[in-house]
Amino acid sequence: MFDNWGRWVHRRRRAVLAVAGAVLVVAAVWGTGLFGALSSGGGFNTPSSESARAAQIAERDLGRDAADVVILYQGRPGMTVDDPAYRASVERALAALPRTEVAAASTYWTTKSPQFVSKDRTSTYAVLRLAGADDGARDDSYKEIKDRLTEVGGGLTAKVGGLVGTGTEINSRVASDIGRAEGMAMPILLVLLVLIFGGLVAASLPLVVGGVAILGAFTALHLLTYVTDISIFAVNITTFLGLGLAIDYGLFMVSRFREEIARGESVEDALATTMATAGRTVAVSGVTVAVSLSGLLLFEQNFLRSMGYGGIATVFVCMVGALTVLPALLAVLGPRVNALSIRRRKKAATTPAAGRADGWWGRVAHSVMRRPVVYVAATVVLLGVLGAPALRINWGGVDAKALPEGADARVVAETMETQFPRNITDPIEAVVTGTADRAAIQAYGDRLDALPGVTGAAVTGTNTASGGSTTRIALRYDADPNSSEARALVERVRDVPAPPGARVRVGGSTAEIVDQLSSIGSTLPWLALLIGGATFVLLFLAFGSIVLPLKAIVMNMLTLGATFGALVLVFQEGHLSGPLDFTATGSVSPAMPILMLAILFGISMDYEVFLLSRVREQYDLTGSTTAAVGTGVQRTGGIITSAALLFIVVIGAFATSGVTFIKMVGVGMALAIVLDATVVRALLVPATMRLLGRANWWAPGPLGRLYGRYGIREDDRPSSATLEPVP
C-alpha cells in the first residue's frame, strides 16, 4: 500500500503541492484567527465536582463573592491607612472605574474590617467583583480597566492581582514566551539541521512539514472552538509538537530517500521504497502518538482536553503532511535534495553487507550485549533512583507563584500572605442548602470553627427562599492552600455532619485541588488502559510480537518515573532553581505530569518504532537477534540521537519561560527525551533484547497467523546509511 502510495504521489507531485499550497493559504488566513477564539481561563477545574457545584449554587443564590481583582495599595514611608489623604486617594481611584465593568468594590473603609489592613498599617487592598456572566465576559471587563487600576495619586503605589488579574498575567506571559521560544529555537534548529543533513535543501524540508503541521493544527482548533472551549495553552502543544514531530518524520524519510538515491535508484523507485519503509514507520508512529494524546480527552479538565485536541490535530496534520507534501517535494527535487551541500558526501555501498554493526553505535550495542545483565541492572537502578523522589510529590494548584519574582500578581499574593490574615481572599467555603433554621446553621458553623487548623468561620451570605435557604460560610486557615495540610482540612470539613435537613457542598481553591486529584485519579486507569492497549496492538501489528510491546511499555514507565522524580527534586524542592531562574512552589500541578505522560509516551514510541523497524528487518534477513540489534542500533542510533537533539532544542526553549509550569514541561520533556534516546535506546533496549533472544519475536499461534495476515510489515531492502547525523 505505501509503495503504491509513493508511486501515486510521484506521478501527481505537482498537483499534490498545488492542493497543499491552497490549503496552506486558507490556514494562514483563517486558521490564525484561532488566537481570538481561545478561552483565556486556565481550565484546571473539574466541572462535575463538589467544589464546582458549590461555586455554581453560591453564585446563583448569593451572587459572586470571588476576588476577581485584588488591588494592593502601599503608602509612602510614614503614611498609614489612618491618614485621610490615603483614603481619599484610594476612593477617588476606585470611583473613576466604570460601573459597567466593575460590579462591586470592597475596601477597608466600606467594610470597616481590620482584615483589610496590613500589620504595619501602611498597606491595604481593594477587592473588585467584575461585571460579566462568565469568565470570558469578566476577562473583557478586566481588559477595559486594567490600565486604570494602578492610577492612584497621593503618594500611593498600586499593584494588581486576584483571580482574573493573575490569570491574565499568566496568559500574557505564556503568549510572549511562545514567540520568544520560537525565535530562540528556529535559528538553532536550522544550523543543526544543516549540519546533520549536510545541505541546505534537505535541512529545510522538515521545517516545511513543521510549518504545515502548525498552520493545519491552528485551522483544526479554530473549527473546534465553534463546538467547545479550547484553552489558550493548546497553542503551546501545537507549536512544539508540530516542529518536533516534523523534524523526526523529516529525518526518517529524507534520510531514507537519500540512501535510495545514493544507491542509484530512480526517483520513483527511491520514493516508493522510502514510503514502504520510513513512510510506514511514520504512519505507525503518528497513530501511536495520536492515540496517546487522545487519552487526554478522557479527563474533565478543560486544560487537558484542550491539550488533547491540540495534540491530536497537530499529529494528524503532521503525519498527513509527511506522507503527502514531503514525498511530493522529494519527487520534485529528486537528486537535487542534496543541493547546496556544505560537505562532500560519501558514495553509498550497494552490497547487503553495508550498514552492519561496525560503526560506533554498533560497537556500543555489541559491548552492551556482551554484558546484558550488568547493563539492565545498572540502568534500571539508575532510573529507579531518579524516580524515587516522585514518591513524595505534593500536589497543588496553579496560582500567582507560577509567575517570576517581581511580577505584580505575585507580589500581591506574597504580600497578602505575609502582611494580612492568611487566605482572607481565598477561604474554604461551605455552601449550605435546604434549611432556614438559623440555630442549626450557627451550630454547624461553630463545629467548623472548632476544627483543628481553622482560624475563623464567618457567614458571608444568606438567601432565604420559599421552602429553603442557601448560606455560605467562609473558613480561614493557616496552611498554604496548596499544601497537604490544607487538603486534609478540606476532607475534615466535608466529614462534619450537615445541619438537619440540609446539604453541604465544600468549595474554594483547595477543595478544587482535592476534587481535581480525585477526578484525575479515577481517570488514570482508563488512560493507562487506552494508551497501553492501543500501543500494544499497534506494536504487535508492526512487529508480530507480544513481548516487544510489553517491553516498550515497561521501559516507557521507567523513563517517565525517572522524569517525574527529577521534577519533584527541581520544581517542588527547588534544586537548580537558581540556574533555571524560578522559585520553587513546594508543589506540582497534577495536570502537568498527566500532560507529559501522554506526550512522552507517544514520542518514546516514535523512536521505538524506528529502531525496531530496522531490527526486525535485519532479524528477518539473518535470524540472529544479536546481529539484528547491532545493525539496527548502528543504522538508527545517529538519527535517533539527532532527532532527540533537535526535539530537545524545540521543547527546551520553553524551559526559558517565566511561567513555572511551562518551564517545568520544557525541562521535564527535555530530560525524558535525553534519557529515552541515550540510556533506554542505546543501553537498555539492546541489553534486554539480548537477554530475551528469540523470545523477542514470540507470539501465540493464533496471533502469529493474525500478524501474517494483517501485520503492517515493512517490505525493506538492505541499504547503506549515507546520512551522517551528529552524535
Q: What is the CATH number of the domain that holds 274?
A: 1.20.1640.10
Residues 213 and 113 in one domain: no
Whether 629 is in a domain gets the answer: yes
Count: domains in the chain: 4
Residues 216 and 341 in one domain: yes
Q: What is the pLDDT of residue 727?
A: 32
DSSP H helices in 653-684 = 660-675
Residues 375 and 314 in one domain: no
Residues 380 and 344 in one domain: no
Residues 159 and 306 in one domain: no
Q: How far apart are CA 400 and CA 410, in angstroms?
A: 5
Whether 298 is in a domain gets the answer: yes
Residues 345 and 372 in one domain: no
Last residue of a domain, one of 302, 334, 350: 350
C-beta separation of 509 from 397 below 8 A: yes
Whether 367 is in a domain gets the answer: yes
Whether 711 is in a domain gets the answer: no
Whether 188 is in a domain gets the answer: no
Last residue of a domain, one of 330, 350, 370: 350
Residues 340 and 236 in one domain: yes
Q: What is the CATH number of the domain that holds 665?
A: 1.20.1640
Residues 537 and 649 in one domain: yes
Whether 568 is in a domain gets the answer: no
- Over the chain (727 residues), the average pLDDT of each successive run of 10 is 87 93 90 78 82 90 84 90 92 92 91 90 92 81 90 90 87 79 82 86 88 88 86 81 86 87 90 88 86 91 89 90 93 88 55 52 90 94 94 86 88 90 87 83 92 90 76 90 90 93 91 92 92 87 88 91 94 89 85 88 81 83 87 86 87 83 89 90 92 89 78 48 35
Q: How far apart are CA 142 and CA 147, in angstroms?
A: 9
Q: What is the DSSP letter of 681?
A: I
CA-based radius of gyration for the chain: 29
Q: What is the pLDDT of residue 355?
A: 42
Q: What is the CATH number of the domain that holds 504?
A: 3.30.70.2690
Pick the closest to residue 175 from 386, 34, 379 (CA basis): 34
As beta bridge partners, residue 69 has 128
Q: What is the pLDDT of residue 724?
A: 36
Q: What's the angle, vertex CA 602, arms to CA 698 and CA 189, rounded to 5?
A: 125
Q: What is the 3-state secondary structure (H, E, C) of 266-296?
A: CHHHHHHHHHHHHHHHHHHHHHHHHHHHHHH
Whether 268 is in a domain gets the answer: yes
Last residue of a domain, one of 118, 144, 167: 167
User: Between 591-622 and 280-294, two packed helices, what is the crossing angle to 10 degrees?
Assistant: 150
Residues 306 and 362 in one domain: no
Residues 337 and 368 in one domain: no
Residues 85 and 29 in one domain: no
Q: What is the DSSP letter of 684?
A: I
For 105, list phi and psi in degrees, rounded to 5: -140, 135
Whether 3 is in a domain gets the answer: yes
Q: How far apart are CA 289 and CA 294, in angstroms?
A: 9
Q: How many CA atoms lie within 13 A of 33 on its CB side?
A: 11
Q: Which three cell numbers stand for residue 74?
A: 502601599
Q: What is the pLDDT of residue 617?
A: 79
Q: What is the pLDDT of residue 359?
A: 81
Q: What is the CATH number of the domain that holds 143?
A: 3.30.70
C-beta separation of 107 from 124 below 8 A: yes
Domain that holds residue 301: 1-36+198-350
In sequence order, which residues have a C-beta less than 8 Å from that of residue 589 and are 6 or more positions away? 44, 395, 396, 397, 398, 661
Q: Which residue has the cell 473558613?
A: 475
Residues 671 and 593 in one domain: yes
C-beta separation of 368 from 687 below 8 A: yes
